[in-house]
């Protein structure tokens, strides 16, 4: 039976003592609230479903993550530890003040959508995060709740992260390295004073090994005679043996014969001694950034070398099983991003047969026409055909559906409200003051309701933001090619002729609202695309009908 007593401060305290359960107490403003809580709690105890919520109500997400990083993270690999510390800082910045009990699925879903749509970086610029980045952040948050419930005894009825949709796995970057780009890159890395830098880059593109696998190699793992490298510690914890090409064997032979190698280190690629006197793997972050800039490849990442190597394995005709054995992809599902190469091989072979089969008259007409000439005019038409399929300059509506309501105080940084207010300033939405139920307790807090205007209806495009959440957007104008700046000499690749084209384009016909300061301040794409020409780069492919943008070609 519960005991209800009035405290000296005028509040009411309910105390429950029941056999088989720890003593439980809670303080309320009114006697009725105390009696209601005691009755519900005793009923839960009788039914065996009672959960002590006090620890979950006291512990914040920040405190829980701090404990997680001290107790759980140290048992993981060093690279994983570093990644979890970075993800934890993001979660703490946006959700750290919530208690574990207060963090529900709706708040987690808002966090997910905000990160996908565009989260301000340290310089205040909006930077949408990739699906995979957000998936990893949610995975950390979800595991935090799992550990808290199962191991820390935190009384929660469920894990809020398990009740939301996760972003679809990203298809992965598909940045390829052209022969001309590879030449420029290798020339740039060879300018560095330390030859180890150039050796590492060449090994990456020849073998497909990850940077962490190359950097931590020991001499005993490299077998020049058998032309293999035996990897012991890999990302997926599965040892594997990597065969070496003739070029990779030559590079490793030079690296192992390095006359500057200290006798005390087993590392193939070694750095300077630390304060403890121990040599660790060679680091070259700044050198890599400088080399990319010198080669004109600032969008290129070191991990793209692995993608390039695996793509070349597939193009060389290796089976999925053989590629997996070399690259370390643990399942065939992980290799699916490369299967388009095989499909393209079949498509291009089929296309080639059709071309051979066409009549000699058609061949003569095609030869006389100019649509297949490699020139700026034809390339400009190909790129414009692709740009015509785009929706123009679009501003995502910062909520699902219309009308919508946003709390004036938003612990996720207030970016959604800033964007909504910018749309109001642009004349696309109207707003009025209202109230919503506060996140904590039963109080009401100030909020703003937004509705679309007649002007807004003219520019509304369903799913115009192209986000996982299916956000609608206001879109205006169209993209128009200004000039093809330069292009590479068309070359044959995978039985297709293509050219890499650099061009400039701009937004034409955009309504005045798109150029307002509030839109430019709150939508990164508006700030970048309304101030002048935009730089673009694409591959164009020669078809029977002339040149075609790579993305339209893949759709065909």
Name the 3-class secondary structure at 104: coil
Question: For the CA atoms of the chain, what is the radius of gyration?
Answer: 30
Rounded-to-integer distance, Cα 145 and Cα 107, Å: 14
Is-catalytic flag, 329?
yes
For residues 540 and 549, is the Cβ–Cβ distance under 8 A?
A: yes
Is-catalytic flag, 166?
no
Among 68, 98, 338, 479, the active-site one is: 338
DSSP per-residue letters across 301-343? -THHHHHHHHHHHHHTT--HHHHHHHH---SGGGGGGGHHHHH
Among 135, 227, 230, 235, the active-site one is: 235
- Give CA separation, 455 vs 70, 72, 423, 460, 474, in Å: 54, 53, 11, 9, 10
Among 306, 506, 520, 549, the active-site one is: 306
Q: What is the 3-state secondary structure (H, E, C) of 147-182?
A: HHHHCCCCCCCCCHHHHCCCCCCCCCCCCCCCHHHH
Phi-psi map region of 253: left, alpha, beta (phi>0 left; psi -120 to 50 alpha): alpha
Is-catalytic flag, 307?
no
Among 112, 329, 417, 419, the active-site one is: 329
Among 135, 176, 303, 431, the active-site one is: 303
Is-catalytic flag, 210?
yes
From 382, 355, 345, select the one nearest 493 (Cα to Cα). Answer: 345
Cβ-proximal residues to 496 (8 Å cutoff; 6+ apart), any chain: 344, 348, 541, 542
Is-catalytic flag, 303?
yes
For residues 481 and 383, is the Cβ–Cβ distance under 8 A?
A: yes
Helix (H) or strand (E) run with residue 527 in it: helix 524-529
| CA dihedral of residues 516, 520, 522, 524 (deg, nearest 10) | 150
Rounded-to-integer distance, Cα 512 and Cα 515, Å: 6
Tokens, residue 524: 């990164």
For residues 131 and 169, is the Cβ–Cβ distance under 8 A?
A: yes
Rounded-to-integer distance, Cα 484 and Cα 173, Å: 25
For residues 189 and 302, is the Cβ–Cβ distance under 8 A?
A: no
Cβ burial of 360 (10 Å; 0-12, 13-18, 19+) is: exposed
Is-catalytic flag, 503?
no
Question: Residue 403: is the preceding peptide bond cis (ω within 30°)?
Answer: yes
Rounded-to-integer distance, Cα 451 and Cα 455, Å: 11
Among 210, 292, 419, 549, the active-site one is: 210
The catalytic site residues sit at: 210, 235, 303, 306, 329, 338
């Amino acid at each position: 039976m519960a005991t209800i007593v009035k405290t000296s401060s005028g509040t009411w305290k309910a105390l429950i003592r029941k056999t088989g359960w720890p003593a439980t107490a809670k303080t309320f403003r009114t006697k009725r609230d105390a009696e209601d809580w005691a009755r519900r709690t005793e009923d839960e105890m009788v039914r065996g479903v009672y959960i002590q919520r006090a620890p979950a109500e006291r512990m914040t997400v920040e405190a829980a993550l701090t404990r997680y990083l001290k107790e759980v993270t140290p048992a993981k690999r060093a690279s994983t530890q570093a990644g979890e510390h970075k993800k934890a800082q993001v979660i703490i910045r946006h959700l750290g003040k919530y208690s574990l009990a207060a963090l529900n699925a709706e708040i987690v879903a808002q966090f997910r959508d905000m990160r996908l749509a565009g989260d301000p970086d340290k310089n205040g610029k909006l930077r949408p995060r990739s699906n995979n980045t957000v998936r990893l952040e949610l995975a950390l948050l979800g595991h935090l709740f799992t550990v808290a419930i199962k191991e820390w005894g935190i009384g929660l009825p469920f894990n809020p992260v398990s009740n939301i949709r996760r972003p679809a796995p990203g298809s992965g970057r598909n940045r390829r390295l052209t022969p001309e780009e590879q030449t420029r890159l290798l020339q740039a890395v060879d300018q560095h004073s330390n030859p180890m830098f150039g050796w590492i880059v060449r090994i990456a593109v020849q073998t497909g090994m990850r940077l962490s696998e190359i950097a931590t190699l020991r001499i005993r793992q490299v077998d020049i005679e058998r032309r293999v490298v035996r990897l012991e510690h890999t990302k997926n914890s599965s040892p594997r043996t990597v065969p070496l090409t003739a070029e990779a064997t030559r590079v490793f032979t030079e690296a192992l014969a390095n006359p500057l190698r200290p006798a005390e280190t087993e590392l193939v690629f070694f750095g300077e001694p630390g304060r403890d006197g121990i040599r660790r793997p060679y680091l070259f972050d700044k050198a890599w950034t400088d080399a990319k800039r010198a080669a004109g490849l600032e969008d290129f990442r070191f991990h793209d070398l692995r993608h390039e190597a695996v793509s070349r394995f597939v193009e060389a005709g290796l089976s999925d099983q053989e590629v997996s054995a070399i690259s370390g992809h643990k399942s065939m599902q992980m290799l699916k991003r490369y299967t388009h190469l095989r499909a393209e091989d079949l498509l291009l072979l089929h296309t080639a047969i059709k071309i051979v089969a066409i009549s000699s008259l058609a061949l003569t007409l095609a030869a006389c026409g100019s649509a297949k000439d490699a020139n700026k005019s034809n390339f400009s038409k190909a790129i414009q055909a692709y740009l015509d399929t785009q929706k123009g300059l679009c501003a995502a509506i910062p909520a699902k559906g219309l009308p919508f309501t946003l709390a004036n105080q938003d612990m996720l940084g207030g970016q959604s409200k800033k964007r909504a207010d910018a749309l109001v300033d642009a004349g696309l939405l109207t707003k009025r003051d209202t109230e919503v139920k506060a996140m904590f307790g039963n109080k009401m807090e100030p909020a703003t309701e937004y509705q679309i205007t007649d002007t807004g209806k003219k520019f509304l495009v369903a799913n115009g933001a192209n986000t996982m959440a299916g956000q609608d957007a206001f879109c205006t104008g169209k993209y128009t090619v200004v000039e093809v700046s330069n292009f590479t000499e068309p070359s044959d690749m995978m039985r297709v002729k293509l050219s890499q084209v650099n061009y400039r384009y701009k937004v034409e016909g955009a309504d005045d609202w798109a150029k307002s300061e509030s839109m430019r301040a709150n939508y990164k794409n508006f700030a970048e695309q309304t101030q002048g020409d935009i730089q673009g780069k694409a591959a164009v492919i020669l078809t029977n009908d002339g040149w075609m943008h790579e993305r339209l070609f893949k759709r065909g």
